[in-house]
Structure 1
Amino acid sequence: MRKTKLLSAAIFVIASFANGRYIHGVNWADETVSCTSRIQSWADGQCGGPGPNFISLQTPQTSWWVLGPADADGNSNMKAWDFDKGDRDYVAGWRGGSPINAEQEIVVFFENALEDKAGSDLIIRLFCGPAAKASVYVSSDLSSFAKVGEIEGSLNGVPGKGGFLYDAEFDFSEKYSEPVHYVKVYREVTASQSGMFFDSFRSAHTKLPQTKAEVIHYGWTILQDTNSDCYTDNVDFAQLAESWKICYDPQTSEFSQLPFEDPNSIPSSCHGVWQAGFGMEADINRDCTVNIQDLILFAEKFLTCTDPSNENCIKPWKL
């Protein structure tokens, strides 16, 4: 089967920023290792779909739509198509019907391995058609895969309704005992209403920190702690000041291309900049520009700490 490899130099540049991504104890997929030629983004660059962008070396930003935190459901109602309420449909997968879309697959990589623990171990957020079906495989080294389950649409149900997100959960118990670094989803059905689009791949387990090092590693530091040392202080303020007025939003005239070594690696939106790992830590509100709004948010948490060994510090993982 012909696959389109995404490991270009530009992708390596981006992945070096994104690997090992824990956010609030959740382990998210870090890299799209490979995919077949008909994997495409759903949105058309603004909202809605289907879009024309296939995941390829020519449009590398689309490869990040299945990485990092789930982001197709901005208002948390598990529906990805509330465009009038601000949702942006950041998903990628395959459409139904045509034989040209048969035998599609996508493989994602976790820098921090998924583990076999009690209950579910892997969660894939997606939407699909009622006739959709795919098999899910895992591997530790990309050389051999073990099947851990299937995703299947249902008539008049979820999954099976376009745009209604579903969390498919998979338990590795008695199926795979090695640390899981690779997850592959393979299309089993090509027919009308058998499309399937993915929002995110993540661990089912949440890591809670016991030490300062674990707070940092598992992503429990607050956004105002820009240097991730568990203390929001003058050092963080200096980093904010150093980044003042820098703009990484590719949709504005003030956009700075400084961190993007290859023009083909530049994402098409601020969201894509963050998904690709190019966001500035001083950009507290994540709008790709460091300005007065970030300073206001910083002031709200100035001198706040998240060090577990300090009784006077807050413990956001217990809230």
Structure 2
Amino acid sequence: MKKAKTLTAFILTLAVLTNAEYIEGVNWADEVFSCTNRIQSWADGQCGGPGPNFISLQTPQTSWWVLGQSDCDGNGNMQAWDFEEGDRDYAAGWRGGSQINAGQEIVVYFENSLEDNAGADLVIRLYCGPAAKASVYAGQSPDNLVQIGEIEGKLNDVPGKGGHLYDAEFDFSGKISQPVHFVKVFRETVGSQTGMFFDSFRSSSVKLPEIKSEAAQYGWTIPEDANSDCFVNHLDFAEIAESWKICFDPKVSGFEDSVFEDPNSIPSGCHGVWQAGYGLQADINKDCVVDFEDLLLFAENFLTCTDPNNEDCLKPWNL
């Protein structure tokens, strides 16, 4: 029992640490702060079509769909529906329809603020209908947002071409000078072909590390470095040993569910566990079980380092 409690505390600590992540220098949205009652998932955990369920903050297993890395484009061709290529249509937004769907909005939160740099500052990856239109707002607090631009569909073009993802970019220059923690997208049109679904919200700029702590902070350490100290060694092996054979795949009978405080917060699958920030660092291949496959990956990279100030170390940000 003591070991189980220790493991649970360890996992909860990791869950907290994985929030507010930079991943390879990119700052991703960390939380769905609020959404209106007609925001819905596209496929409800399964690829292949509009899902019937609306997103509610009371059902957290759906609120992580627009968080973290983009996952609707597994092969890099900017098409959302190549399911045979491993694309996961984990997107959320609104469908076209009647006035009952008017005035919908979604607000996401960045714990690490977005800042005004040269060029674009915010990127929203989405797909939408050719008649769709939405206004985008940003600010330091949810009560003080300013409009920074619009997203609008185009007939037979991107955005607007069915299933084709589009990166809408926004520049804060001349519009907002404070660090941005909140981004809101507000629906402006209803009717046929006005649906709009979002895959991710992220920074445009990429942070490159200059010291060891920044390599971990900005997400440039390699997966085998389980404790993110820029060195793959016995300490990382201890992380693997501590988590050995723990299974966190919700699709597997008897999976370890103690990490989830609320039964409603359990994602639909392993991908959701990672998107929601509950993945174990020792799960190197991110299949939601710590086993020999992770140990093999660890062994292949044993004694690899990623210290920015050591010329003999790997520099993944230069690859």
* TM-score (norm: length of structure 2): 0.94
Instruction: Give the Cα–Cα distance (whole angstroms) in 2 for the partners of residues 218 and 86 of structure 1.
Output: 26
SS in 2 for 1:64: coil
Q: Contact 1:18 / 1:30 at 8 angstroms: preserved in 2?
A: no
1:244: Cα distance to partner? 1.1
Partner of 1:61: 61
Partner of 2:210: 210
Greater than 3 Å deviation, 4+ residue runs: 12-18
1:40 and 2:40 aligned: yes
Amino acid at match of 2:274: W
1:96: Cα distance to partner? 0.4
* Residues 53-132 of structure 1 mapped to structure 2, 5 A cutoff: 53-132=53-132
Q: CA 1:61–1:13 in structure 2 vs 1: closer, same or farther (change >3 Å)?
A: farther
**Gap runs ≥5 in structure 1:** 1-11
Q: Contact 1:25 / 1:218 at 8 angstroms: preserved in 2?
A: yes
Which range is displaced more, 48-57 or 266-275?
A: 48-57
Q: Contact 2:14 / 2:281 at 8 angstroms: preserved in 1?
A: no
Partner of 1:306: 306
SS in 2 for 1:304: coil
Q: Determine what percentage of the aligned residue pairs are the same residue.
A: 70
Q: CA 1:18–1:52 in structure 2 vs 1: closer, same or farther (change >3 Å)?
A: farther
Amino acid at match of 1:197: F
What per-residue deviation string (whole Å, max 9, x for no partner) do you get for residues 213-245 of structure 1? 111110101000000000000010111111111
1:18: Cα distance to partner? 4.2
SS in 1 for 2:204: strand
Q: CA RMSD in A?
A: 1.6
SS in 1 for 2:205: strand
Instruction: Give the Cα–Cα distance (whole angstroms) in 2 for the partners of residues 52 and 306 of structure 1.
Output: 45
Q: Contact 1:125 / 1:167 at 8 angstroms: preserved in 2?
A: yes
Partner of 1:8: none
Partner of 1:315: 315
Q: Contact 2:227 / 2:236 at 8 angstroms: preserved in 1?
A: yes
1:300: Cα distance to partner? 1.3
Instruction: Give the Cα–Cα distance (whole angstroms) in 1 for the partners of residues 163 and 206 of structure 2.
Output: 27
Amino acid at match of 1:306: T
* Residues 1-319 of structure 1 mapped to structure 2, 5 A cutoff: 16-319=16-319
1:164: Cα distance to partner? 0.6
Instruction: Give the Cα–Cα distance (whole angstroms) in 1 for the partners of residues 229 and 84 of structure 2.
Output: 39
Q: Contact 1:15 / 1:31 at 8 angstroms: preserved in 2?
A: no
Amino acid at match of 1:234: H
1:299: Cα distance to partner? 1.2
Amino acid at match of 2:153: G
Instruction: Give the Cα–Cα distance (whole angstroms) in 1 for the partners of residues 248 and 174 of structure 2.
Output: 46
What per-residue deviation string (whole Å, max 9, x for no partner) do you get for residues 97-143 of structure 1? 22111100000000011010110000000000000000000010222
1:75: Cα distance to partner? 1.4
Q: Contact 2:108 / 2:184 at 8 angstroms: preserved in 1?
A: yes
1:17: Cα distance to partner? 4.8
Amino acid at match of 1:235: L
Instruction: Give the Cα–Cα distance (whole angstroms) in 1 for the partners of residues 268 and 57 of structure 2.
Output: 14
SS in 1 for 2:185: strand
Which range is displaced more, 291-300 or 242-251?
A: 291-300
1:62: Cα distance to partner? 1.0
Q: Contact 1:246 / 1:290 at 8 angstroms: preserved in 2?
A: yes
Amino acid at match of 1:89: D
1:48: Cα distance to partner? 1.2
**Gap runs ≥5 in structure 2:** 1-11
Amino acid at match of 2:25: G
Which range is displaced more, 22-31 or 236-245?
A: 236-245
Q: Contact 1:15 / 1:30 at 8 angstroms: preserved in 2?
A: no
Instruction: Give the Cα–Cα distance (whole angstroms) in 2 for the partners of residues 216 and 124 of structure 1.
Output: 25
